[in-house]
Structure 1
Amino acid sequence: MRAGVYLAHPRPGSFNHAVFDAVVEELRGRGCEVLAHDLCAEGFSPVLAPDETGTVASATSPVDAQVALHRAEVATLDALVFVHPNWWGMPPAVLTGWVQRVLAPGVAYKLASADGEPAGLLTAGRALVLNTSDTPADREQDEFGDPLERIWSACVLPYVGVDDVRRVVFRTVTDSTATSRATWLREARRQAAALLE
């Protein structure tokens, strides 16, 4: 199996980094080929170029080398893992930009009909989203409707052909104990391992 693991957190040493490292180690330890990307450390630009904004572009539209690499890789994956904090009910800008620039028309989907219904092009049948949050679960759901769940499970991943979307939220991080964090890292590893089954 070939998995892409994507981290979106700018601060080295963050708990998101620990989750990312645990997932990559777990997957590799189980024989999975892992393409691991710390998007902030790589300097991935989230800003769309004007010629990247069309909805009918092809996979051969000119893009910079970094975006081209990510597009080529994502087309070959069996699974996707995203690790990021919940910031204002959204992924960090670097990951939002990655979605917009990499999961592009002609690469990850095509508009198959006049009504705009997409046909997903990715072969990755499953995805795991691991979020951190400082919002209690009941408030997230009752006041905000869990926007990250909608983003990943309704708006993004099914659109590109990923049917099996799993998501785990570790909360609340700011006031968490070392014991809680160790438990969460074990759960991240367990979820990563389950992705291979």
Structure 2
Amino acid sequence: MSRTGVYLAHPRPGSFNHAVFDAVVQELRDRGSDVIAHDLCAEGFTPGLSADETETVRAASDSPDGQLSLHRAEVATLDAMVFIHPNWWGMPPAVLTGWVQRVLMPGVAYKLAASDGEPEGLLKAGRALVLNTSDTPADREEIEFGDPLDKIWSACVLPYVGVTDVRRVVFRTVTDSSDEARESWLREARDQAAALLV
């Protein structure tokens, strides 16, 4: 049985991001995946990286913060990951950025080679799916901004920790979307989640 971590980063209950999260979690469970689902805002995950956390390489259990230790231990057991969040200023929300910085630490998610400093990913999760919402039209996103979220996930974060298959879908524009469009996007989210298990 595959184990999938699903992480939601949106502070408002009832948001479309929450609907995507619920649909993905249900689809994966219906298909037999062992799903670890985290609504980071609802759980009160603390995004701020402390000075102590930056001083030394930490092991998964090497934190007095029980929530943080749990997340570090869980991420090492995953076969796949799903991240669901809006595009805010070309970045994930602070809670998810903080999750990346505090959970995907050296010794937990990667290590640096002594000779050249190149990272060696430690996670066994070979696949990840990023589902974003946006109110920026696709052509403007690409022409004016160069799609920074794609670079963050597909170039900077996930390959660094060993994830070689990074998939990403953007649902846009959300604010003025119809009920029909949202239903179509939820079907696509379910299909993408199912494909992650193949």
TM-score range, shorter chain: over 0.9
What do the CA deviations read for 1:116-144 (whole angstroms, capped 9, x no partner)?
Answer: 21000000000000000000001101110
Q: Which residue of 1 aligns with 2:92?
A: 91
Q: Which residue of 2 aligns with 1:58?
A: 58
Q: Which residue of 1 aligns with 2:7?
A: 6
Task: Return the alpha-carbon distance in structure 2 between the equivalents of residues 120 and 39 of structure 1.
Answer: 24
Task: Return the alpha-carbon distance in structure 2 between the equivalents of residues 19 and 146 of structure 1.
Answer: 21
Q: CA deviation at 1:51?
A: 1.4
Q: Is 1:114 paired with 2:109?
A: no
Q: CA deviation at 1:165?
A: 0.1
Task: Return the alpha-carbon distance in structure 2 between the equivalents of residues 89 and 175 of structure 1.
Answer: 20
What is the identity percentage for the equivalent residue pairs of Structure 1 and Structure 2?
Answer: 79
Task: Return the alpha-carbon distance in structure 2 between the equivalents of residues 122 and 81 of structure 1.
Answer: 14
Task: Return the alpha-carbon distance in structure 2 between the equivalents of residues 63 and 145 of structure 1.
Answer: 40
Q: Is 1:195 paired with 2:196?
A: yes
Give the partner amino acid of 2:175. Answer: T
Give the partner amino acid of 2:119. Answer: P
TM-score of the superposed pair, with normalisation by structure 1: 0.97
Task: Return the alpha-carbon distance in structure 2 between the equivalents of residues 177 and 116 of structure 1.
Answer: 49
Q: Which residue of 2 aligns with 1:171?
A: 172
What do the CA deviations read for 1:97-128 (whole angstroms, capped 9, x no partner)?
Answer: 00000000000000013332100000000000
Q: Which ranges in structure 1 are unaligned for 5 or more consecutive residues?
A: none
Give the partner amino acid of 1:57. Answer: V
Asked if 1 retains the 8 angstrom alpha-carbon contact of 2:62 and 2:69, the reply is no
Aligned-residue CA RMSD in angstroms?
A: 0.9
SS at match of 2:128: strand
The list of structure 1 runs, each at least 4 consecutive aligned residues, that deviate by more than 3 angstroms after superposition, is none
Q: CA deviation at 1:63?
A: 4.1
TM-score of the superposed pair, with normalisation by structure 2: 0.97
Task: Return the alpha-carbon distance in structure 2 between the equivalents of residues 45 and 62 of structure 1.
Answer: 13
Q: Which ranges in structure 2 are unaligned for 5 or more consecutive residues?
A: none
Residues 70-149 of structure 1: matches in 2 within 5 Å? 70-149=71-150
